[in-house]
Amino acid sequence: MRPRRLDPDPANAAHRRARESKLRHARLFADLAGELGAPDPERLGDLLALLYDGAPARAQVLDDVAPLEHARQMAAMLLDDI
């Protein structure tokens, strides 16, 4: 299954703020990964940002804290690879 293309409205202020926030988190994670000596800090930053964004959303929808622990474990595995 191929992901479908999303067509956000870049003129929408809420969209812009959400996008900036997501990019800021990925940049923060990439900067920290770089400080740790990750060979590809940009990619690691994106992966960690995906966990940061997705786990709380899944936990809330499922009314279950397990996705938060799973995300922590996945982040630890990613960081162990450095």
Domain range list for the chain = 40-82
Its pTM stands at 0.84
Q: Which amino acid is at 67?
A: P
Per-residue pLDDT of the chain (82 residues; tens, 9 = 90+): 676 667 778 888 998 999 999 999 999 999 999 999 999 999 999 999 999 999 999 999 999 999 999 999 999 999 998 8
